[in-house]
């Protein structure tokens, strides 16, 4: 696919390098967070530690080499054995980066200015989040989170554009719940046979690692929380076809702990680990009801709207692009 004038990379974007992947795998052996081991976390660690490599460093190989020598000497003290690998020592690594950067450098630009200019022209701009709200580094189920701000707030810190740019916030959610990796999951289906059926029908396997996703029933407490911290103005619900044909579907409307009921998602991880979901059984639907957004499908949607306070505008009924119903 031709990328020229179609794909642009910020000069300020941070680079994930081979030693980040080695470090990620090394740390995951004892931390058991459930990372993809692609080096994302260690790259963010370097960013915060102010030793990260940015895209504009690729333009200055001599300066890049000096930076890598400094990083190498620091990291081999913290991770003995990993940084003795020949392919991540500074000189061979710079040669590898120079070769790879031949394809990357033509794509570099000041993306902040590009977005501002696009706004001035009245063009539409779509920002797409990559991960679920509960994986956000600040508002997710820490430490079982990713290393970035994947809520709406991450748009502004990640691109440099102001909050006033946003006109709409569309929250995308499945009509059941999934999770990849470790961490609390109140509505997880513990019966592995039932979980496997839902997983297979929904093709719930990690897009990066291929790992089976953990699956569970819709958690309205968590969904309401995700809508709140993102300022969601409308919802797009997916995978209704996966639940089609079930006689009834449990939906969590509250949590219970120590004889108390919780209507709001707790910030305390130790509480989230211990809560039990309080379910409401909703009647299932057939394919005819699904395509017509009527009967029990409509009841399911309206239940979600009442609990979240957010209107559902889009319904996905399949994997194809045309399997989308607008309300």
Question: How many domains, the chain?
Answer: 3
2 domain residue, yes or no:
no
Q: What is the CATH number of the domain that holds 298?
A: 3.90.170.10
Residues 173 and 250 in one domain: yes
Q: Classify 203 as helix, strand or coil.
A: coil
Question: 125 with 112: CB under 8 angstroms?
Answer: no
Domain final residue pick, 162, 193, 223: 162
Per-residue pLDDT reduced to its tens digit, 104-135: 999 999 999 999 999 999 999 999 988 899 99
DSSP string for residues in 234-291: EEEEE-HHHHTT-SEEEEEEEEEETTEEE-S--S-HHHHTT-EEEEEEEE---HHHHH
The two tokens of residue 154 are 């991450």
Q: Tell me, what's the pLDDT at 313?
A: 98
Query: Are 136 and 183 in a shared domain?
Result: no
DSSP result, 124-187: -------S-GGG-TTTSSTTSS-SS--STHHHHHHH---GGG-S--EEEEESSEEE-SSS--TT
- The reported pTM is 0.90
Residues 88 and 33 in one domain: yes
CB 283 within 8 A of CB 243: no
Distance, CA of 2 to CA of 277 (rounded, Å):
49
Is 320 found in the same domain as 172? yes
Distance, first Cα to last Cα, the chain: 35
Among the candidates 66, 94, 109, a domain finishes at: 109
Q: Are residues 17 and 101 in the same domain?
A: yes
Q: Are residues 176 and 290 in the same domain?
A: yes
Residues 70 and 151 in one domain: no
Provide the CATH number for the domain around residue 89: 1.10.300.10
Do residues 79 and 135 both lie within one domain?
no
Is 267 in the same domain as 234? Answer: yes
How far is Cα 255 from Cα 205, in angstroms, rounded to an integer? 27
Give me the pLDDT at residue 27, please. Answer: 87
Same domain, 44 and 158: no
* Shared-domain flag, residues 221 and 316: yes
Q: Is 308 inside a domain boundary?
A: yes
Residue 321 in any domain: the answer is: yes
Sign of CA dihedral 312, 146, 243, 128: positive
Q: How confident is the model at residue 38 (pLDDT cuts 50, 70, 90)?
A: confident
pLDDT digit string (tens) for 244-264?
999 999 999 999 999 999 999
Tokens 């006109």 sit at which residue? 167
Backbone angles phi, psi at 37, to 5 degrees: 60, 30
Map residue 316 onto helix, strand or coil. strand
Domain range holding 203? 168-326
Model pLDDT for residues 148-183, shown as the tens digit of each residue? 899 999 999 999 999 999 999 999 999 999 998 889
Q: What is the pLDDT of residue 86?
A: 61
Q: Decide if 199 is inside a domain.
A: yes
Task: Kindly state whether residues 146 and 282 are assigned to the same domain.
Answer: no
The neighbour count for residue 220, using CB atoms within 10 Å, is 22
Minimal CA–CA distance to 146: which of 267, 30, 33? 33
Residue 4 in any domain: the answer is no
- pLDDT more than 90, % of the chain: 82
Tokens of 299: 């009841």
CA atoms within 13 A on the CB side of 118: 12
Q: How far is the C-alpha of 21 from the C-alpha of 160, rounded, in Å? A: 28
């Amino acid at each position: 696919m031709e990328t020229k004038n179609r794909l642009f990379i910020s000069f300020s974007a941070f680079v994930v390098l081979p030693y980040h992947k080695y470090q990620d795998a090394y740390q995951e052996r004892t931390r058991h967070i459930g990372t993809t081991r692609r080096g994302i976390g260690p790259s963010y660690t370097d960013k915060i530690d102010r030793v990260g490599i940015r895209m504009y460093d690729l333009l200055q190989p001599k300066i890049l080499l000096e930076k890598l020598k400094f990083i190498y000497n620091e990291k081999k003290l913290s991770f003995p054995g990993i940084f003795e690998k020949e392919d991540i020592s500074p000189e061979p690594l710079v040669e590898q980066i120079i070769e790879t950067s031949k394809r990357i450098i033509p794509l570099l630009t000041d993306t902040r200015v590009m977005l501002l200019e696009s706004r001035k022209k009245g063009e539409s701009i779509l920002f797409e989040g990559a991960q679920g709200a509960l994986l956000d580094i600040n508002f997710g189920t820490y430490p079982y989170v990713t290393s970035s701000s994947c809520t709406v707030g991450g748009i502004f810190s990640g691109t440099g554009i102001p909050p006033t740019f946003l006109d709409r916030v569309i929250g995308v959610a499945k009509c059941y719940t999934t999770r990849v990796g470790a961490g609390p999951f109140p509505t997880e289906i513990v019966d592995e046979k039932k979980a496997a059926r839902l997983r297979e029908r929904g093709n719930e396997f990690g897009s990066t690692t291929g790992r089976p996703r953990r699956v569970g029933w819709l958690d309205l407490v968590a969904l309401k929380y995700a809508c709140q911290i993102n300022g969601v103005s409308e919802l797009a619900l997916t995978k209704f076809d996966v639940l089609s044909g079930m006689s009834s579907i449990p939906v969590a409307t509250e949590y219970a702990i120590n004889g108390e009921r919780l209507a709001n998602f707790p910030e305390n991880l130790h509480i989230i680990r211990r809560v039990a979901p309080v379910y409401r059984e909703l009647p299932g639907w057939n394919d005819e009801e699904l395509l017509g957004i009527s009967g029990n499908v409509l009841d399911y949607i309206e239940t979600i709207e009442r609990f979240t306070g957010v209107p559902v505008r889009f319904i996905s009924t399949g994997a194809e692009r045309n399997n989308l119903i607008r309300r």
